[in-house]
Structure 1
Amino acid sequence: MTKTVFISLFILFVSFAYSQENADKRIQYFPKSEEKVSKMPKKKNVWVFIMAGQSNMAGRGQVEPQDTIYNKRILSINAKGELIIAKEPLHFYEPTLTGLDCGMSFAKSLLPKISKNITILLIPTAVGGSAVQQWIGDSTYRKVQLLSNFKEKVNIGLQYGTIKALLWHQGESNTNNKENINLHTSRLTNLFTVFREILQNKHLPILLGELGAYSKNNTNWQLLNAKLREYVKTDSNAALIFTQDLKHKGDDIHFDSDGQRKIGERFATEYLKKFN
């Protein structure tokens, strides 16, 4: 073996080891098993919340020990559509990428403020990197047919409870050019009309999250945030939460774990203030 070949193999080994170490760290606090729901509460006592959008809703934060505490009043679904006790990460569409999202934080923030008879069912439908026009067009992205999958998962939610709101975080993929930014308000109007038709409620609350303030393309991100603010002024059943103080996980794209928890808390606060 020549010295050059040896060095190349050594570099490959180190790169693989580093990659494996990061992968192991990402999943070290993932649940080791899932717990199926053996007895569902009465349908009138189940509040369903749909989670949709791209990667900052799908979750890229590090799941940490504090995120592993579950509550049997918070449910979700697995990849087969079966009801399970909710545990982070909730999203399952991109298994090599998925991390902490805002879902459990949202539900845990709601529980103390609502009736003890209520169970929360979180339905994950977000897919990282998906653009709003792909949702409108029912495109297949990262092996998920976005709108068709949304309909399928909504139907599961409708079987078991009342859909109370949609949590939406998306927009990073629409900041690549001014045309996409300028069209964002009209596209959201179109998409949310379709969502509400699917959800069988034309007045359904939709909670949106701002993009962060940490992007290397921050000018365009803030232009898109302006479009989000523009949209909620036109929709009395929509509300936008603030995220400009939150930090990224080191990649200038995704909220860190603390940011994801705060997003969940802010969604819950806004929901209770405006829609409950």
Structure 2
Amino acid sequence: MQRVLIQNTISLSLKKMIGTKANKILCIVFIVTILTTQAQTDYKADVHLVLLAGQSNMVGAGNYDELSSVDKKRIENISDRVFLSYNGKALKPLSYFNNKPSKKYNFTKRFGPELFIGLTLAEANPNQKYVLVKRALGGTSLYGAWSPEWSAEKSNAVEMDAQRKKIKLYELHLKDIHKTLEQLKSQGKSFKIIGLTWMQGEKDTNSELAAKNYRENLENLINHYRKDLNTSKLPFIIGQVNVLPRKYKPGVDFIRNAQIEVGSLDERNTMIKTSKESPWNDFPKHLDNTHYNTIGQKRLGEAFAKSLIEKIKLN
């Protein structure tokens, strides 16, 4: 309806204004202004949704207690308008999640990139509300558990245990997203999905089969998200993996190069570049040389958010 009214306005104005050269110039300026206003109006929504998906570095191993008091206050200040649904759980204000202390991660308050994605976006847009919908499970493959065309055969070929061999993460993420959208609809809120952040691939580096098919599988994943969510212009932000080589030595290069290629396929894709080798000064890690530590997770979230801000300008 709004588009029709704008088109009618433009049509009537054209008839009135076209005549002299000066009026033609004014007419062009008028049309550009109207179309710009239309684009801005179409983009406005009560809630902006950000989708997060991946494996262990998307789960996150940041220690909330290591954050500065300034960062904690910043998060507290925006928590009334940034909400998170994690692995199908109910929406809650953006914050840490509970961690069972272990020898590897001996702390109780844990976070992933969502914390600084939400914070960075919210501070950049002080009047906007956000909902983040995250689905992540460590040690899972795009070839298997994350495949939109999941099969037991593919999953059994690459996944490491009974849980991961059976789980269908893409399907579950879609359910999470639609559940959230229905909740927003029931509250009478308008919404827009503004992008997806993807931090995954470490598992696929370990298998020749998964690594050599990663580029095709990542393209397929992006196409499925855009089609299944009816968002053909969905920005897709890829975090480049930088795990050390394991069983299949060339796997890291296969995945990193595939992510570079897919990240440049169209203007709404992009990739966050990471250093390939230790000491990981760009995104610091824990001593396992695999998982980002508190600083690494903070920087990863900020990098995802800044890329999203750039990409959503294209819509």
Please name the residue that 1:208 is paired with: 238
Residue identity in the other structure for 2:284: K
The answer to whether 1:255 aligns with 2:292 is: yes
Q: Report if aligned partners of 2:199, 2:239 keep a CA contact under 8 Å in 1.
A: yes
The structural deviation recorded for 1:143 is 7.0
Deviations 1:194-231 (A, max 9, x none): 1222222122111110113x625486323311110011
Residue identity in the other structure for 1:267: F
Please name the residue that 1:61 is paired with: 62
The structural deviation recorded for 1:184 is 0.9
Identity in percent: 24
Specify which of 248, 268, 286 is matched with residue 237 of structure 1: 268
Which deviates further from its counterpart, 252-261 or 78-87?
78-87
Residue identity in the other structure for 2:311: K
Please name the residue that 1:147 is paired with: 170
TM-score, normalised via structure 2 length: 0.65
Q: Report if aligned partners of 2:236, 2:269 keep a CA contact under 8 Å in 1.
A: yes
The answer to whether 1:83 aligns with 2:114 is: no
Q: 1:84 to 1:143 in 2, by over 3 A?
A: farther
The ranges of structure 1 where at least 4 consecutive aligned residues each deviate by more than 4 angstroms after the TM superposition are 94-98, 216-219
Q: Counterparts of 2:65 and 2:165 in 1: how far apart (Å)?
A: 26
Q: Counterparts of 2:262 and 2:221 in 1: how far apart (Å)?
A: 12
Please name the residue that 1:74 is paired with: 82
The answer to whether 1:50 aligns with 2:80 is: no
Q: Report if aligned partners of 1:81, 1:156 keep a CA contact under 8 Å in 2.
A: no
Which deviates further from its counterpart, 249-258 or 68-77?
68-77
The structural deviation recorded for 1:112 is 2.3
Instruction: Give the SS at the match of 2:136.
Output: coil
Q: Report if aligned partners of 2:48, 2:131 keep a CA contact under 8 Å in 1.
A: yes
Q: Report if aligned partners of 1:241, 1:267 keep a CA contact under 8 Å in 2.
A: yes
Q: Counterparts of 2:292 and 2:303 in 1: how far apart (Å)?
A: 14
Q: Counterparts of 1:150 and 1:128 in 2: how far apart (Å)?
A: 15
Q: How does 1:1-276 map to 2 (within 5 A)?
A: 44-66=45-67, 68=72, 69-70=75-76, 71-77=79-85, 81-89=89-97, 99-114=110-125, 116-134=126-144, 135-136=146-147, 137-138=149-150, 141=164, 144-159=167-182, 160=184, 161-212=191-242, 215-217=244-246, 220-244=251-275, 245-276=282-313
Unaligned runs of at least 5 residues, structure 2:
1-43, 156-162, 185-190, 276-281
Please name the residue that 1:38 is paired with: none
Q: How many residues align?
A: 230
Q: Counterparts of 2:309 and 2:213 in 1: how far apart (Å)?
A: 30
The structural deviation recorded for 1:52 is 0.3
Residue identity in the other structure for 1:85: P
Deviations 1:158-204 (A, max 9, x none): 23232111110000011113442221110111111112222221221
Q: Report if aligned partners of 2:263, 2:270 keep a CA contact under 8 Å in 1.
A: yes
Instruction: Give the SS at the match of 1:99.
Output: strand
Q: Counterparts of 1:99 and 1:219 in 2: how far apart (Å)?
A: 32
Which deviates further from its counterpart, 236-245 or 183-192?
236-245
Q: Counterparts of 2:53 and 2:199 in 1: how far apart (Å)?
A: 7
Residue identity in the other structure for 1:187: N
Q: Counterparts of 2:195 and 2:262 in 1: how far apart (Å)?
A: 17
Q: Report if aligned partners of 1:165, 1:205 keep a CA contact under 8 Å in 2.
A: yes
> Which is higher, the Rg of structure 1 or of structure 2?
2
Q: 1:221 to 1:165 in 2, by over 3 A?
A: same
Q: 1:256 to 1:143 in 2, by over 3 A?
A: farther
Unaligned runs of at least 5 residues, structure 1:
1-42
TM-score, normalised via structure 1 length: 0.74
The structural deviation recorded for 1:234 is 1.7
